[in-house]
Amino acid sequence: KKTLLLRSPLLSQSLLAPRPSTFQNRAPPMAKSPKATTSRRPTRKRRASPAAVPSSADIEDLAPSGVLAGPTSAAPALRSGLLRWYDAHRRDLPWRFSAAPGREGREKRAYAVWVSEVMLQQTRVPVVIDYYSRWMARWPTVETLAAATQEEVNEMWAGLGYYRRARFLLEGAKQIAEKGEFPSTASTLRQVRGIGDYTAGAIASIAFSEVTPLVDGNVVRVISRLFAIADNPKESSTVKRFWELAGQLVDPSRPGDFNQAMMELGATLCSKTKPDCSQCPVSSHCQALALSHENPLVGVTDYPRVVPKAKPRRDFAAVCVVQIAQGLEQETAAGKCNFFLLIKRPEEGLLAGLWEFPSVLVDERKTDPLNRRKEMDRYLKQLVDIDVEQESNLILREDVGQHVHIFSHIRLTMHVELMVLKIKGDVGQACNKGQDSTKLKLVDESSIDSMGLTSGIRKVYNMVKAFKEKKLLEQSQMPTKKRSRRQKQ
């Protein structure tokens, strides 16, 4: 098992002996490999199973405050080797550009670093490039972003997930614009809404050349392997150790480039499952690699330790795509003169402030159509004040199917139905009679196609579109007499 620790004196002497290429003067005592064993009767010590941690936790949530990190003389060979490799092999990314001279140029670079680093949390680089380019074209400065609305920002962010990042970006931009100056140190950056230790370290070192570390998932992987750290990488004591080591390693003359080089190494050569150690510029300093050469039971990929994620909560929801029809029946069937009802989610919590189709959570034991429709009718009556039976002609109500959407901590099964109504009287007036008309709106089909919906709601809408197209196709293929008889019914 990976959780076994070796207590062999032989291993202690042969594998853990100081090597000229390692930083025995700077690194804490190297942790023994969790997979190591001996040829004789080994003394096995079983580690307690690590507690599951929420999969939604990110480096901003885990980073300790007040880690002291300044310029040191440690590891000059590693620094120079890593920076030479970075200069030759770094990827050409739109947010990597040289700042223009002066305060204005540095602040422009700081804003670019901020936006890119926030987008890159939990998201792959190829996906971020397009989002970043569109974002900067619309809001090229922190002042232009501060003038945006939350709805505009949400629409631009749609599809990236983890929407609290977008909310924090807007709130932080308003805070900076109000003060009139972009913070230039890690300590002052941490006072901005949504900026934690990692983002503060990135902005301060890259844009303002402050000698300060940063630690993200890639840096954790690199440091875990350099120092063979087998401890739980999510525990606060281990996280603090990562930050201390990163602070000792950061290059005092090129802190921003060094931090980017550490992240670049972890994102490319020092990957999770297939590290390319033969091409790594710091492989001669890597204690995990040295252990793997000495013991075939030890692998570089044993570091960092894999921590089991908390099992996601299972939720169930009834989702009703309410289509309100106006005009002739032929226009309704063709999708003309139709409006869709959207509800705005609460300003706090999951998907805060985003628009969705009417949805209500239901008990797993009551996901049958009858119970789901009872709950949905009650919800529509309460929020929108539309009585499905009394105030409308029900043209169609059918189940469309299920869609399972995975959040970081929730597995949500959505039972989707389509309801086509023809409201008696004025549609807008009927919708404005609810509890809070600012939390709902009617949009036509062309508008909903271009809206910035979440990926889950977009999937639901596409399911309904496919269902309607199939329905129309079936009706068009039905003999004329049968079709007219069915319409009369």
User: Is 319 buried (19+), middle (13-18) or exposed (0-12) by CB count in 10 A?
Assistant: buried
Active-site annotation holds for 117? yes
Cβ pair 222, 86 in contact under 8 A? no
How many Å apart are CA 271 and CA 486, to the nearest integer?
Answer: 61
Residue type, 127: V
179-188 contacts, C-beta under 8 A, 24 or more apart: 181/107, 182/106, 182/107, 182/110, 182/111, 182/142, 184/106, 184/110, 184/208, 184/210, 185/210, 186/210, 186/212
User: In angstroms, how far is CA 382 from the centroid of its own chain?
Assistant: 34
Question: CB neighbours (10 Å) of residue 126?
Answer: 7
Say if CB 338 and CB 321 are below 8 A apart: no
The CA distance from 128 to 407, in Å, is 19
- Long-range pairs, 28-33, Cβ under 8 A, ≥24: 28/227, 28/241, 28/245, 30/227, 30/228, 30/229, 30/287, 31/227, 31/228, 31/229, 31/230, 31/231, 32/5, 32/6, 32/230, 33/6, 33/228, 33/230, 33/291, 33/295, 33/297, 33/298, 33/302
The residues facing 1 across adjacent strands are none
Q: Which of 60, 107, 117, 210 is catalytic?
A: 117
- Positions annotated as catalytic residues are 117
